[in-house]
Structure 1
Amino acid sequence: MENTSGVGVLDKVTSILATLEAGPTTLSGLVTATGLARPTAHRLAVALEQHRLVTRDVEGRFVLGPRLGELASAAGEDRLLGAAGSVLSHLRDVTGDSAQLYRRQGEVRICVAAAERLHGLRDTVPVGITLPMKVGAAAQVLLAWEEPERLHRGLQGARFTATALSGVRRRGWAQSVGERELGVASVSAPVRGPANRVVAAVAVSGPIERLTRQPGARLSKAVVEAADRLTEALRNP
């Protein structure tokens, strides 16, 4: 085993993660690639699965888990937040509506940046507030590209369906009308990190009377462009 640290269990765990970096792998594949005994490889892979550092695909093969993406997102959070202020302000000015940036943390989403509408009726979402992952356009975006098992769990009790999330993946944006709060509509699009994982969601929100019951028709282009700008900021520091 190369690049040993002298801490045996860490070296073994690292060898498993390095193997999975190349793609989905069966237990036999892990044993062959790492040189670990089969019981050891299985024990460590299952332990990593408990911590969401490893998960399994639809064929039961081990793959890198969502926790790694969350850690990578946290490492790049300063860059994301550094770019968010100007991007959200521009989005607010272009659309005339309040703009927010959300990140997922466990079973909730957190507003990590916002640009409020300067005049007139506003939909205020304070920075730092936690909102459920069961309602709203941003929740749809943050869930739509999850691995199948986590997506299925996330849909339990949600106000949207698997069919709706399929439409989100196809279009590249989501809309909601009265899901999070009566009288409020929103449109959201994904921000992706260097590994193409969805790490955040940009959203525009406001009263249904202003956004209408088909807010995506007017706002999706601007929201997607804002999300793409933040994606570029993360990929090209």
Structure 2
Amino acid sequence: MGKDSGIGVLDKAVMILHVVADQPCNLSELCDVTGLPRATAHRLAVGLEVHQLVTRDESGRWIPGPTLGRLAATARDAVREAALLALPRLQETTGESVQLYRREGVERVCLVAVEPPTGLRDTVPEGSRLPMSAGSAAKVLAAWADPDTLRTVLNDAVYSERTLADIRRRGWAQSVAERAAGVASVSAPVRDGSGAVVAAVSISGPVDRMGRRPGEKWATDVIAAADAITARLDSPARS
């Protein structure tokens, strides 16, 4: 499983990362798949957990941690770079938390997060991996996902294919208390030069501020930010 660098402890740690990326594992499952002794597997997994290279899900199984996403997000990324130029203005306009998400498999990863300087905020750290089952950004990314991914996502989603059809028609999505109690959000798609949806811009904040129909208040601004990122991707020379 993987390459042999000649550095045993490194190879074993990387093997654990590959295994938990394929499927969540408890200690017994990790030992079964890797063939590592129980004490070794536990020591390495806990060490990786300290550095947030792995973390634990609700049932206590190891899964990829937020550090992996943060490291990937800091690599040169045209979408992220374009978003960093456009999203601060959206945050200033709305006063709410702003994020850029990209779909990776059946998860969405926060590539950029811009938070208000004070007050209540919906903090999603860069590199965070969230499920595709709920939230306006998840719905935007699902609306333009490939059929196989969409079928998998809809098995656990709080939304339906009919909802996604409406999102494709109007060009934005909203959610109220789907991902987290008391949080509302609005999202719109970012497209590359070929027109494919490659990310979703999102604003999120308390329902008390955003309202029960946040799209009526902020959809136009979110779409404008997403279009600004799209324009930079389509014409990189202007960025």
User: What TM-score, normalized to structure 1?
Assistant: 0.66
Matched to 1:90, the amino acid is R
Asked if structure 2 preserves the Cα contact closer than 8 Å seen for 1:111 and 1:128, the reply is yes
- Give 1:145 shift: 1.4
Asked if residue 152 in structure 1 is aligned to residue 151 in structure 2, the reply is: yes
The 3-state SS of whatever aligns with 2:85 is helix
Distance in 1, matches of 2:146 and 2:76, equals 22
Distance in 1, matches of 2:227 and 2:76, equals 16
The 3-state SS of whatever aligns with 2:77 is helix
How do 1:29-48 residues align onto structure 2 when only pairs under 5 Å count?
none
Distance in 2, matches of 1:87 and 1:96, equals 15
How do 1:182-221 residues align onto structure 2 when only pairs under 5 Å count?
182-221=181-220
- Give 1:173 shift: 0.2
User: What residue number does 1:14 align with?
Assistant: none
- Give 1:149 shift: 3.8
What is the total number of aligned residue pairs between the two structures? 163
Unaligned runs of 5+ in 2: 1-72
Which range moves more in the overlay, 143-152 or 224-233? Answer: 143-152
Asked if structure 1 preserves the Cα contact closer than 8 Å seen for 2:105 and 2:149, the reply is no
* Residue-by-residue CA offset, 1:45-93 (whole Å, 9 max, x unaligned): xxxxxxxxxxxxxxxxxxxxxxxxxxxxx9x962222221231110000
Matched to 2:107, the amino acid is V
Matched to 1:234, the amino acid is L
- Give 1:207 shift: 0.5
Distance in 1, matches of 2:94 and 2:143, equals 24
* Residue-by-residue CA offset, 1:165-209 (whole Å, 9 max, x unaligned): 111001100000011000000000000112211100000000100
Asked if residue 81 in structure 1 is aligned to residue 80 in structure 2, the reply is: yes
Distance in 1, matches of 2:187 and 2:215, equals 9
Distance in 1, matches of 2:76 and 2:139, equals 21
How do 1:98-177 residues align onto structure 2 when only pairs under 5 Å count?
98-177=97-176
Distance in 2, matches of 1:78 and 1:150, equals 23
Distance in 2, matches of 1:89 and 1:96, equals 10
- Give 1:148 shift: 3.3
Give the superposed CA RMSD: 1.5
Identity rate, percent: 50
* Residue-by-residue CA offset, 1:101-121 (whole Å, 9 max, x unaligned): 001111111100011011211
Distance in 1, matches of 2:148 and 2:80, equals 30
The 3-state SS of whatever aligns with 1:179 is coil
Change (3 A) 1:197 1:77: farther
Asked if residue 94 in structure 1 is aligned to residue 87 in structure 2, the reply is: no
User: What residue number does 1:225 align with?
Assistant: 224
Change (3 A) 1:78 1:149: closer
The 3-state SS of whatever aligns with 1:143 is helix
Distance in 2, matches of 1:131 and 1:146, equals 16
Distance in 1, matches of 2:83 and 2:181, equals 27
Asked if structure 1 preserves the Cα contact closer than 8 Å seen for 2:140 and 2:189, the reply is yes
User: What residue number does 1:4 align with?
Assistant: none
How do 1:12-31 residues align onto structure 2 when only pairs under 5 Å count?
none
The 3-state SS of whatever aligns with 1:190 is strand
* Residue-by-residue CA offset, 1:11-70 (whole Å, 9 max, x unaligned): xxxxxxxxxxxxxxxxxxxxxxxxxxxxxxxxxxxxxxxxxxxxxxxxxxxxxxxxxxxx
Distance in 1, matches of 2:125 and 2:97, equals 11
